[in-house]
Amino acid sequence: MKVEETSLVDALLITLDKYDDERGFFMESYNEQAISKEIGFYEFVQDNHSKSSKGVLRGLHYQIDKPQGKLVRCTQGSVYDVIVDLRVHSDTFGKTFGIELDRPELLLWSPPGFAHGFYTITDTAEFQYKTTDYYHPRSQRTLMWNELDIEWPFSGNPVLSLKDSKGQTFEECEKYE
């Protein structure tokens, strides 16, 4: 496993070992011991899996009362994944990081206190992630996708849910103290 720091404090890129041969491939997609050694110990309590069509943007989501750390990857297709540090006392508060996730062995660790979202680049994409807390609808928040200087890989408007189209600006959104 290879681990790289991102430009945001505590957020990491993890490339899992993948073994290819004429039959296909094998990889250990999650190993608590190995991951905990890199990110610290977090109990992952929920696995999520979504499928999106080209042009769909999901996010930027976070939970204010029950912050979720997310260990994310794209298992089919390609997405442009973005995280935003909303931790007021962080050295990278208000900064963003984006990367194309286009293979199942590439993971992004988004710690609690970050907003997260992604845009589907390919005709379809399947996106999977583990969370450190359960979905809590009452504390779910959305930061507007076009609020910050994020270099999304498209022009025009993405396909959004009603909730995502009504996100808050960075100034008005709740942050983590």
The answer to whether residues 89 and 141 touch, using CB atoms and an 8 Å cutoff, is no
Helix (H, G, I), strand (E, B) or coil at 20: strand
Cβ atoms within 10 Å, residue 89? 9
Residue 116: active-site member: no
Sheet holding 2-5, edge to edge: 2-5, 12-15, 106-110, 70-76, 124-131, 46-53
Question: Residue 64 is inside which H or E element, if any?
Answer: none
Residue type, 92: T
Among 61, 62, 80, 116, the one annotated catalytic: 61
Cα 100 to Cα 79: distance, rounded to the nearest angstrom: 6
Length of the chain in residues, anyone? 177
Among 42, 80, 119, 129, the one annotated catalytic: 129
Residue 129: active-site member: yes
Cα 50 to Cα 167: distance, rounded to the nearest angstrom: 20
Cα 54 to Cα 131: distance, rounded to the nearest angstrom: 25
Q: What positions carry a catalytic annotation?
A: 61, 129
